[in-house]
Amino acid sequence: ITATTGLNRSTVSDLVSELAELGLLAEKETAASTGVGRPSLAVTATDNIVAFSVNPEIDATTVSAVALSGRVVTKERRLMRSHPTADNAIAVASEMIAKMRKELEPGTRIVGVGVSAPGQVRSSDGVIRFGPQLGWVESAFAAALSQETGLPVYLGNDASLGCIAEARFGAAKGINDAVFLFAGSGGIGGGVISDGRTVSGAAGYAGELGHIRVSSSKQVDYSGFPGTLEALVRRNDLLDMFKLYVATDEELDAEIRSTESTKAKRLIEDQIDSLADGISTLVNIFNPEVVVLGGFLTSLFDFAPENLITQLKKGSLAAASERVVVRKGALGSNLLVLGAAELPFEALINAPSSFSLTDA
């Protein structure tokens, strides 16, 4: 800790002691050494402080409990009727949170709820401005969910939160300049890390990377824009090809890996070409060290990684792309779970002594 923060040992010791008294950290002596002086302490975040994460989608709502240590305590994905209303999703999420609260270990304290929502969101007051796939407009989702659960609720864009999660815990950890692309049932979004900081834009809506134009095609994306990355790389097209009504990313990945259909392979290859064109544009703009792919984009990458890289190199400036690395996200199905939980955890960490925790 002293090496990372630059603080002296005494100051670090005082801070750790304060956080331990607040119940945020646990201290444990390391194995005895032959060195002189007091043994070092191993410091870990506690497991008995949790946040709930909620991810509403067009076909399911996922709710999880995540410990401050980063451990996913429990997770449940409940299928929904097609295009649920915001009220439907809030009712289901509230019910699932209530059930999980009863199952938490005695003495567990709750920070709050983090929501990863597809679409344009206003994080300052937790409003989903426009969720095109869900059909939600100006939904005060956070306030309504808070009223139902009695817990503070924080809300952010799903892809932006995925970017934060990969930057803090996953494939972009320690990277100063990275681009993250995430594709799910709500379309394609992303995030940009520049000089170690998340790019949020003037009003917090930066990262809508799925809307960059990659083709003159008239096919439109979920927001009505033609020829975009989101218009041509669509999860629903793959589901339709494999005759799947709903599927997890793992189930879709299995279909992509095992397909022998020439028609399916052609669709996958077309999506890979469009994805590569989109990435090449982003590489030209941001010159990242790493491009991280999340959601079903990881399956496209695995299907033909050499083809994607070749197409990417063709469409980008040599100087901008000569050192870029394209890699899959490291967090898998826990990507949005951890990303959403970071919202309440961040609020706690910013004001640990004054933050009010709720008993489970």
Nearest CA among 238, 244, 59 for reference residue 134:
59
Integer Cα distance of 303 and 305 in angstroms: 6
pTM: 0.90
Lowest mean pLDDT among 5-19, 188-202, 218-232: 5-19
User: Domain segments of the chain: what residues?
Assistant: 2-45, 49-158+337-354, 171-330
pLDDT above 70 covers what percent of the chain? Answer: 96
Q: pLDDT band at residue 200, thresholds of 50, 70 and 90?
A: very high
Residue 217 is predicted with a pLDDT of 96
Q: pLDDT band at residue 87, thresholds of 50, 70 and 90?
A: very high
Residue 7 is predicted with a pLDDT of 85
pLDDT at 88 over 70: yes
Lowest mean pLDDT among 139-148, 170-179, 241-250, 261-270: 241-250
pLDDT at 230 over 60: yes
CATH, range 171-330: 3.30.420.40
Integer Cα distance of 16 and 36 in angstroms: 22
Integer Cα distance of 150 and 356 in angstroms: 13
Residue 11 is predicted with a pLDDT of 87
Lowest mean pLDDT among 38-42, 70-74, 116-120, 321-325: 38-42
Structure tokens at 321: 């792309």
Query: HSE on the CB side for 255, CA within 13 Å?
Result: 19
For 279-324, the pLDDT digits (tens) are 999 999 999 999 999 999 999 999 999 999 999 999 999 999 999 9
Backbone angles phi, psi at 9, to 5 degrees: -60, -40
Integer Cα distance of 168 and 340 in angstroms: 13
The CATH superfamily label for domain 49-158+337-354 reads ATPase, nucleotide binding domain (3.30.420.40)
Integer Cα distance of 105 and 360 in angstroms: 8
Average pLDDT over residues 211-239: 96
For 6-63, the pLDDT digits (tens) are 888 888 888 888 888 888 887 776 655 555 556 666 788 888 999 999 999 998 999 9
Q: pLDDT band at residue 114, thresholds of 50, 70 and 90?
A: very high
Average pLDDT over residues 157-177: 96
Residue 55 is predicted with a pLDDT of 97
Q: How many residues are there in the chain?
A: 360
Q: pLDDT band at residue 243, thresholds of 50, 70 and 90?
A: very high
Two domains, one topology: 49-158+337-354 and 171-330: yes
pLDDT at 119 over 90: yes
